[in-house]
Amino acid sequence: MLTLYDYLDSGNGYKVRLLLAQLGTPYRLVELDIMQGATRTPEFLAKNPNGRVPTLELEDGTFLAESNAIIWYLAEGSTFVPADRLGRARALHWMFFEQYSHEPYVATPRFILRHLGADHPRRAELPARQAQGRAALGVMEGHLAGHDFLAGGYSIADIALYAYTHRADEAGIDLAPFPAVRTWLARVAAQPGHVPMLT
């Protein structure tokens, strides 16, 4: 059985949990408290030297890190990966966009606001990061105004971007100016097998 090392408040981990639920794939969940250094122990660093969750342990004991690599691995051969070459490239386009243009500016402000104190020096980063987060949502808005999903049909590209976009309010980013994004969020949440990030 697969083993997922995760922190439940992590949107990156949620991508994996959501896909596993939608695939109907059983797995064992090992929760780690990143705020208490649980991913920095020698035991965990032997599994993932980068000391981050999610980390997936395969049935043969191989460890796989990086959320988008994990969901690509899990989705390979399923309807969650586009069947055609261009569709797969478009899915990768949005997954790279998520990691470089979206996650640092939506997930990071969310982390700062949820997990660091009001007097923490990283609070100074918020205005610039939130502005970049709104810019990323604007790119998504422009695309989703004319498309139901990001890369053709519902795919891991949508899962990758749904994870933190649907919690953007917790990053101090208002989704009201992005009606196509909000409609897309509802469309993703209505997919079979959908599970919430936090219960």
CATH number, domain containing residue 150 = 1.20.1050.10
Does 194 fall in a domain? no
Contact 53, 91 (CB under 8 A): no
Tally of domains in the chain: 2
Q: Grade residue 198 by pLDDT with cuts at 50, 70 and 90.
A: confident
pTM of the model: 0.96
Residues 61 and 137 in one domain: no
Please say if the pLDDT value at position 199 is more than 80: no
Q: Which domain holds residue 155?
A: 85-189
Q: Terminal CA-to-CA distance of the chain, rounded, Å?
A: 24
- 70 sits in which H/E element: helix 67-75
Contact 190, 152 (CB under 8 A): no
Does 29 fall in a domain? yes
Does 114 fall in a domain? yes
Which domain-ending residue is among 52, 75, 98?
Answer: 75
Give the tens place of pLDDT for each residue, 139-185: 999 999 999 999 999 999 999 999 999 999 999 999 999 999 999 99
